[in-house]
Amino acid sequence: MSDISTIYLDYAATTPIDPRVIDKMSPFLSDPHYCGNSASTHAWGQRARQAVSDARAAVAALIDAVPEEIIWTSGATESNNLALKGVMALYQARGKHIVTMKTEHSCVLETCQQLEKKGFSVTYLSPKRDGLLDTDIFSDALREDTVLVSIMHMNNETGVIQDIKTLSEITAARGILFHSDVAQSAGKIPISVKDMPVDLLSLSAHKFYGPKGIGALYLRQKPRVRVAPLFHGGGQEQGMRSGTLPVHQIVGMGAACAIAHLEMSRDLTHIDSISHRFLENFEKHTSIMINGDRLHAYPGIVNIGFPGVDARRFVEAHSSIAMSVGSACYAKGAEASYVLRAMGLTERDAAASIRFSFGRFTTEQEVDEAARVITPDFSLFCHPREDGDPC
Ligand SMILES: Cc1ncc(COP(=O)(O)O)c(C=O)c1O
C-alpha cells in the first residue's frame, strides 16, 4: 500500500481528480435536489438534463466538435469496443477488413481478435523503431474491402504521437472510416475534428483529471457516422448507448474538459519543463535509452530503457515511486511490453524499460527526489546474463 511519501509518476495509468472537478460533481452526489434522472420530465430531471447538456458541450468544445457528435460511455475501453464492433456490424456490406497497429491498447487489439473470430479480417501494422507508422506501409495495407482503420493518437507506453491528420486524409480519400483512440491525448494536446477528417474518437475522463468510469465516443455528423449499439434498452444516446446516464460522472468529465481546454498550454509548458528536468538527471548515464521518437512525442510520458536491468524487480523494489513497466494492463502480465517488442526492441531490452509519466500536479521536488532515489545503482537489478555477467 502507498504511504504519504509516495511520488506519483504514473499519470498515463490514471490521473488524480482535479479538486475543481470534485467541487462540480459534489452536489450531484450529495444534494437530493440534484438526484434526478436526466430522462425525467420533472424539475429534478430537467436539472440533470441541463447538467448533461452543459457537459456534452464542454467535451465537444475540447475537440472542436458539436454536442450532438458526443455519445457518453463508461470510458475508452467501451468507446473502442463500440467504435470497432459498432462500425463493423453496421457497415459490413462495404467489406470486412480492418487496419490497426500492433502498438494499440489491449482493448483495441482484443476487440479486433474478437471480430476476427466473427469472420472479419484484421491487418496489424508494425511501427518503425521510433514507434511511428510509415505512411507508405499504411497506404499499402488499405484494400478494396477495408471498412475501418483504428490508429491511436498518443501511445500510452511511449508517448509517441501518430500523424492522425495525414493518415485520416488518406482514408477519407478512399471512403474508409477512421477511428482513433485519443484516450491519452485528449485534454493534453490540441485535437480538432475540424482540422482532420477523423470519423470516430474514443475519450476517457480519468486520463485528464476527471473521474474514472466515464468516457465518450465522438461520431462525425457530416458525413454522418453511426454505430450499432452494444447494449439495448432505453434508447439513450441516440439509441447507440442505452442506460441511465451517470450525471455526476458526466458533470465531472465536462468540468475536466473545460479546465483542460482553458489550461492546456499552461499544463504543457509545466509538463515539458518537469520532463526535461527529470531526464537531465540521467544524462551522465550514457547507457540508458529513451524508447520512441521524442520529437513526435508527449513530454509527459517518457519510456526509459536501462540496459540489463530487470525493470519489473526494480519497480517493485522502489514502491514509494509510482512508475510502471509497460501499461497498467501489461503490468499484471508476465511478458515484456508488446508495444516495445513491436517497435523492434529485444525481449531483454523491453524487459529493462520503465515508463514515467508526469502531469498537472507533478512538482520539481518530486522528479528530483525520484531521480535521486532511482539513479544510484541500476546494476543491483540486472538480469543475470547467459554468460554469467550481471549486466
Ligand atoms: C490508449 C488507451 N486506450 C484505452 C484505455 C482504456 O481506458 P479506460 O480506462 O477509460 O477504459 C487506456 C487506459 O488505460 C489507454 O491508455
Supply the DSSP string of 10-61, one letter for each residue: BTTT--PPPHHHHHHHHHHHH-GGG---TT--SHHHHHHHHHHHHHHHHHHH
Q: Going by CA atoms, what residue is nearest to atom 13 of ligand 1?
A: 13
Residue 388 has pLDDT above 80, yes or no: no
The rounded percent of the chain whose pLDDT value lies above 90 is: 86
Please identify, by atom number, the ligand 1 atom nearest to the C-alpha of residue 77.
11
Q: Which atom of ligand 1 lies at the shortest distance from residue 215's CA?
A: 10
Q: Residue range 314-335: average pLDDT?
A: 75
Residue 315 and residue 376 in one domain: yes
Domain edge (last residue) among 259, 284, 299: 259
Distance 248 CA to ligand 1 centre (A): 20
Q: Mutation test of ligand 1: which of 160, 180, 204 has the most ligand atoms closer than 8 Å to its C-beta?
A: 204
Cα-to-centroid distance, 253 and ligand 1 (Å): 15
Does any ligand 1 atom lie closer than 6 A to the CB of residue 107?
yes
At residue 167, the pLDDT reads 98
In a domain, 223, yes or no: yes
Domain boundary among 217, 234, 259: 259
Residue minimizing CA distance to atom 14 of ligand 1: 13
Q: Is 184 in the pocket of ligand 1 (CB under 6 A)?
A: yes
**Is the pLDDT at 343 greater than 80, yes or no?**
yes
Which pLDDT band holds residue 5 (cuts at 50, 70, 90)?
A: low
- pLDDT category at 375 given cuts 50, 70, 90 is confident
**Mean pLDDT, to the nearest integer, of 76-82?**
98
Task: Judge if 65 and 130 occupy the same domain.
Answer: yes
Is residue 184 over pLDDT 50?
yes
pLDDT at 386: 52
Q: Is residue 95 part of a domain?
A: yes
Indicate the SS3 state at residue 104.
Answer: coil
User: 363 pLDDT exceeds 90?
Assistant: yes
What does the pLDDT read at residue 233?
96
Please state the φ and ψ torsions of residue 276, each to the nearest 5 degrees.
-65, -45
**245 assigned to some structural domain:** yes
d(CA 248, CA 311): 39
What gap in Å lies between CA 278 and CA 162, rounded to an integer?
Answer: 24
Report the pLDDT value the prediction gives residue 152, as an integer from 0 to 100: 98
Q: Is 3's pLDDT higher than 90?
A: no
83 pocket-lining for ligand 1 (C-beta < 6 Å)? no
Residues designated catalytic: 329
283 has pLDDT over 90 = no
Q: How is residue 156 written as a grid cell?
A: 500510452
| Ligand 1 neighbour 217 (Cβ under 6 A) | no
Task: Tell me the CA–centroid distance for residue 79 and ligand 1, in Å.
Answer: 10
Q: CATH number of the domain at 25, please.
A: 3.40.640.10
CA 308 to ligand 1 center in whole angstroms? 29
Q: Could you tell me if residue 1 is inside a domain?
A: no
In a domain, 386, yes or no: no
Nearest CA owner, ligand 1 atom 16 = 156
Whether 389 maps to a domain, the answer reads: no
Q: What is the dihedral of CA 98, 103, 106, 107, to 10 degrees?
A: -40
Please say if the pLDDT value at position 376 is more than 90. no
- CA–CA distances in Å: residue 237 to residues 73, 223, 226, 229, 242: 9, 18, 11, 10, 7
Residue among 348, 339, 347 nearest 301 (CA): 339
Q: Do the domain assignments include residue 216?
A: yes
Parent domain of 210: 19-259
Exposed (0-12), middle (13-18) or buried (19+): which is 356, by Cβ within 10 Å? buried
Question: Region 77-98: what's the mean pLDDT?
Answer: 98
Q: How far apart are the first and last CA of the chain?
A: 31
CA distances (Å), 43 to each of 30, 40, 53, 246, 286, in order?
A: 17, 8, 15, 17, 65
| Predicted confidence (pLDDT) per residue in 245-276, tens digit | 999 999 999 999 999 999 999 999 999 999 99
Find out whether 306 and 379 touch, Cβ atoms under 8 Å. no
224 and 298: one domain?
A: no
Same domain, residue pair 302 and 343: yes
Q: What is the pLDDT of residue 130?
A: 97
Task: Identify whether residues 169 and 157 lie together within a single domain.
Answer: yes
pLDDT at 331 over 90: no
Mean of all residue pLDDT scores within the chain: 93
Which pLDDT does position 36 carry in this prediction? 96
Confidence of residue 381 (pLDDT cuts 50, 70, 90): low
Same domain? For 148 and 269 the reply is no
How many structural domains comprise the chain? 2
Mind listing the pLDDT tens digit for each residue in 218-233?
999 999 999 999 999 9
Q: Separation of 391 CA from ligand 1 center, angstroms?
A: 34
Return the CATH number at 279: 3.90.1150.10
Domain identity same for 132 and 60? yes
Q: Give distance in angstroms: CA of 155 to centre of ligand 1.
A: 10
Between the CA of 32 and the centroid of ligand 1 the distance, in Å, is 32
Residues 56 and 199 in one domain: yes
pLDDT of amino acid 213: 98
User: Does 339 share its domain with 220?
Assistant: no
Is the distance from the beta carbon of residue 75 to the nearest atom of ligand 1 less than 6 Å?
yes
Residues 135, 24 share a domain? yes
Is the model's pLDDT at 1 over the cut of 80?
no
- Residue 104 CA, closest ligand 1 atom number: 1
One domain for residues 300 and 174: no
Among 14, 77, 357, residue to substitute to test ligand 1 (most atoms within 8 Å of Cβ): 77
pLDDT in tens, 143-177: 999 999 999 999 999 999 999 999 999 999 999 99
Q: Write the pLDDT tens digit of every residue in 92-118.
A: 999 999 999 999 999 999 999 999 999
349 lines ligand 1 (CB under 6 A): no
Q: What is the pLDDT of residue 378?
A: 63
> Are both 274 and 229 inside the same structural domain?
no
* In-domain check, residue 391: no
End-of-domain residue from the set 259, 285, 307: 259
